[in-house]
Structure 1
Amino acid sequence: EDDYMIEIQIGQTQMVDCNKHGLNGELKELTVQGWGYSYYQVDEIAEGPSTMMACFELAKKEAFVRIPGELKMRYDSRLPKVFYLPEGAELRFRTWKVDSTYQYSK
């Protein structure tokens, strides 16, 4: 398990135009009182900044739009990762594996 990490991204799938879009929201790490276990919470997600380019082709496409920042944590199969998110929010994750062999070259 020491060779694995998890990357968490929180956002929403939206129909977007050619501009770059973002969302406003804050991911907070909180602790269960008396137990010391962490959980994560986003209270609200709102429309965020976007570029304002003219999009002449009016076709919109579906894309995942995230709140700022990423959360990377070590993988631990003994403890669940608990997230409280507002309705309509999505949590996406990636699992990263580290190659634990080192190569030495002169």
Structure 2
Amino acid sequence: MSTTPNPAVAQTFMVFATLRDDTDLAEFAALRDDEQKQLEVLRLEGRIGAHHVSPARRATFIEVVAADEKHVAETLATLPFARFFDADVYPTTPPDAAEAAHRARS
């Protein structure tokens, strides 16, 4: 079974996640390379789009492409950092024409 979302049924979600106060920062730092590698795998599969980090606010924003929120959770669970964050998932509207054209070129 392919993990790549079918563009015809996939939706985009914005995930806002904040670092938990009880995070072991040494353990967190030790997993940084693994996190980056997994993000790249997910990008290549078309499951992750934009990813932004706000260290000052201990937050991250991740665009996830999935059929539904259950699949968003499954995608997030593959990330090594997932256990350190509390995430809120927001469904977004379909991309406008410019964004759709950009995605088609990617």
Instruction: Provide the TM-score with structure 2 as the length reference.
Output: 0.35
Max Rg structure: 1
Name the structure where helix makes up a greater proportion of residues: 2
Name the structure where strand makes up a greater proportion of residues: 1
